[in-house]
């Protein structure tokens, strides 16, 4: 895979404001974030020849966004069905299209009104992601926080992971969000606040769960060579990997404390030519506190079973420096990549990790569907 | 919420309605599988038969759901994940039919809960 490593780059990043009620369509959010990302890169919509997104029937497709921005001739586009597990695959696909010469400038975006229009699992409606939903929905098992709570409990049972480990992680991510002007939640919390927050699905409390956010984020992907001539310091895409694994929805599968990321991670690191010890900052998909803990294990930052104490201590790799979905906002994966870019550009302000050269950014690790994806980015 | 069955699963739901606890057994390699689907994930052949198995397993995990995800359901309820005694690769979910809270590793047995004439669900309680 040396033929892929560092050949493409993220050249621009754009956001809308994050809120609980955007008051506008996902098309409007997408356009605003895309234009902001292009401006960041020093480009315009006339330079764009590719668009890519992921969605679950809840947002504007490239075939809608393209004409809305007057992009007349998209050479390549991707409208990926799926949730958080495919969030990083979309950017990986865009990088492949650029590396292959099929497209020159691809904008990856995710626009979502996850609070005011389409609440995931919050409407009593199960997402039609898999035929396996029929074996759970009749029992009132319909929402991601319930599913992740089930696996979190298994990890607690097997390894002695404690609710205080979840709580300390939530407290630390909030402390990072306090330093992030974009973040929705900027009031510090304590472990007592965590323990006092109401139950959602035991063992998860409210503060174990990500926010439901209205907002959009966009990234400009182009060749590394071209990115060097653009406005901002390039951030190279060193590796992009996709993974699968067992389905734990209903059938198949062995150890429920191991995710699809465990099998994929060695492939990702091999592609980048480095290992977890070389990662300076890790933006880890935090739909729930537990998803961070299990990924710290499965991406090799600590041994299996030690993710709870590792995450609680805060002594290891800096994690979710923007506050994550728990405290910055939930843009379904892409805002983790955007934060990694900010860190590698050295422009993360009060939350900057000194000397950050290499970042890991990860997707939902694969419990809800047996799939995941991740990127390793490097300062250009 | 009623299950939305499909062409792979409808016959399994019919068996449940008749009070049968069955899995598919691959005619070629003998692997048991759930949920229902046409091909064996191990040997990739298509021949299979229904096989009655022990309606029992052990609790792998459980949750107590408080947030009212379902319209009209305000009271907390317990969902268990059960690893089947006769098929260690297969798990099933269901509601917990016991006052005492679940415990990981506890042996449990299936309870057939008739919702109406057209639908029966599988729930779980401690093994007798």
Give the residue from chain A lying closest to B6, CA to CA: A131
Interface of A with B (CB under 8 A): 121-122, 124, 126, 131-143, 145-146, 149-151, 153-154, 157, 198-204, 248, 250-254, 256
Nearest CA to A88 among A360, A286, A358, A363? A363
Give the Cα separation of B91 and A48 in Å (integer): 47
Query: Which tens digit of pLDDT belongs to each residue from A165-214?
Result: 999 999 999 999 999 999 999 999 999 999 999 999 999 999 999 999 99
Return the DSSP state at B10.
Answer: H
Could you tell me the pLDDT band of residue A368, with boundaries at 50, 70 and 90? confident
What is chain B's length?
A: 128
Please identify which residue in the block is written with the tokens 């052990």.
Answer: B58
Query: Which tens digit of pLDDT belongs to each residue from B30-66?
Result: 999 999 999 998 899 999 999 999 999 999 999 999 9
Within-domain flag for B1: no
Tokens of A338: 């955007």
Range of weakest confidence among A8-17, A94-103, A136-145: A136-145
Give the Cα separation of A184 and A177 in Å (integer): 8
Report the percent of chain B where pLDDT is more than 70: 100
In order of their start, the domains of chain A are: 8-118+211-379 (3.40.47.10)
Query: Which tens digit of pLDDT belongs to each residue from A45-60?
Result: 999 999 999 998 899 9
CA distance A124 to chain B (A): 4
Task: Read off the pLDDT of each residue in A91-106 and give the average, rounded to a whole number.
Answer: 97
Q: In this predicted complex, what is the ipTM?
A: 0.95
Name chain A contacts of B4, Cβ cutoff 8 Å. Answer: 133-134, 137
> B36 lies in which domain range?
10-126
Within-domain flag for B86: yes
What's the pLDDT score for residue A280? Answer: 98
Tokens of A162: 């404690």
Of A121, A150, A157, Cβ closest to residue B69? A121
Within-domain flag for B2: no
**Total domains present in chain B:** 1
Nearest 5°: phi and psi at A13? -135, 135
Residue B79: its H or E element: strand B77-84
Could you tell me the pLDDT band of residue A122, with boundaries at 50, 70 and 90? low
**3-class secondary structure, B11:** helix
What's the pLDDT score for residue A249? Answer: 60
Could you tell me the pLDDT band of residue A16, with boundaries at 50, 70 and 90? very high
Give the Cα separation of A51 and A64 in Å (integer): 10
What's the pLDDT score for residue B1? Answer: 83
Tokens of A56: 């679950």
Query: Which tens digit of pLDDT belongs to each residue from A272-305?
Result: 999 999 999 999 999 999 999 999 999 999 999 9
Beta bridge partners, B94, equal: B80
Q: A2 pLDDT exceeds 60? A: no
Q: Flag if B66 and A134 touch (Cβ within 8 Å).
A: no
Could you tell me the pLDDT band of residue A3, with boundaries at 50, 70 and 90? confident
What's the pLDDT score for residue A84? Answer: 92
Instruction: Let me know: does A356 contact A69? Beta carbons within 8 Å.
Output: no
Q: B86 pLDDT exceeds 90? A: yes
What's the pLDDT score for residue A1? Answer: 42
Name chain B contacts of A139, Cβ cutoff 8 Å. Answer: 79, 93-95, 121, 123
What's the pLDDT score for residue A130? Answer: 75
Average pLDDT, chain A: 94
More confident residue, A120 or B121: B121
Beta bridge partners, B91, equal: B83
Query: Which tens digit of pLDDT belongs to each residue from A72-89?
Result: 888 999 999 988 999 999
Q: B72 pLDDT exceeds 90? A: no
Give the Cα separation of A300 and A37 in Å (integer): 32
């Amino acid at each position: 895979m040396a033929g892929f490593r560092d050949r493409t780059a993220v050249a621009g990043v754009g956001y809308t404001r994050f809120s609980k009620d955007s008051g506008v369509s996902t098309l409007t959010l997408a356009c605003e974030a895309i234009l902001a990302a292009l401006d960041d890169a020093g480009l315009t919509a006339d330079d764009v020849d590719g668009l890519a997104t992921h969605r679950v029937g809840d947002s504007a497709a490239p075939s809608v966004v393209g004409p809305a921005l007057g992009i007349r001739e998209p050479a390549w586009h991707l409208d990926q069905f799926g949730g958080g597990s495919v969030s990083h695959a979309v950017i990986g696909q865009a990088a492949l299209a650029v590396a292959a010469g099929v497209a020159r400038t691809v904008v990856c975006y995710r626009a979502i009104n996850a609070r005011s229009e389409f609440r995931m699992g919050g409407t009593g409606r199960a997402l039609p992601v898999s035929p396996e939903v029929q074996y759970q929905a009749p029992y009132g098992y319909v929402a991601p926080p319930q599913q992740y709570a089930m696996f979190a409990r298994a990890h607690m049972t097997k390894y002695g992971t404690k609710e205080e480990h979840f709580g300390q992680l939530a407290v630390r991510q909030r402390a990072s969000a306090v330093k992030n002007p974009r973040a929705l939640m900027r009031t510090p919390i304590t472990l007592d606040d965590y323990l006092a927050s109401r139950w959602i699905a035991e063992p998860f409390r409210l503060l174990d769960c990500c926010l439901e956010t209205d907002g959009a984020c966009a990234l400009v992907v182009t060749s590394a060579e071209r990115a060097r001539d653009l406005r901002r310091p390039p951030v190279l895409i060193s590796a992009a990997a996709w993974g699968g694994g067992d389905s734990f929805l209903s059938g198949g599968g062995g150890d429920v404390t191991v995710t699809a990321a465990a099998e994929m991670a060695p492939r990702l690191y091999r592609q980048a030519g480095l290992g977890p010890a070389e990662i300076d900052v890790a933006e880890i998909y935090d739909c729930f506190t537990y998803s961070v803990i299990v990924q710290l294990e499965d991406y090799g930052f600590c041994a299996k079973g030690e993710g709870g104490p590792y995450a609680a201590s805060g002594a290891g790799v800096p994690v979710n420096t923007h506050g994550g979905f728990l405290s910055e906002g939930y843009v379904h994966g892409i805002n983790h990549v955007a934060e990694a870019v900010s860190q590698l550009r050295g422009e993360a302000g009060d939350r900057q990790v000194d000397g950050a050269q290499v970042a890991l950014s990860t997707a939902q690790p694969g419990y809800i569907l047996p799939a995941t994806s991740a990127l390793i980015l490097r300062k250009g | 919420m009623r299950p939305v069955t499909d062409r792979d699963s409808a016959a399994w739901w019919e068996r449940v309605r008749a009070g049968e606890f069955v899995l598919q057994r691959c005619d070629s390699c003998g692997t048991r599988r759930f949920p229902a689907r046409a091909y064996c994930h191990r040997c990739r052949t298509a021949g299979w038969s229904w096989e009655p198995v022990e309606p029992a397993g052990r609790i792998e995990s459980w949750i107590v759901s408080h947030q009212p995800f379902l319209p009209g359901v305000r009271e907390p309820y317990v969902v268990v994940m059960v690893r089947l005694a006769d098929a260690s690769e297969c798990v099933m979910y269901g509601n917990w039919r016991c006052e005492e809270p679940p415990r990981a590793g506890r042996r449990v047995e299936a309870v057939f809960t008739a919702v109406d004439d057209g639908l029966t669900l599988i729930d779980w309680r401690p093994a007798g």
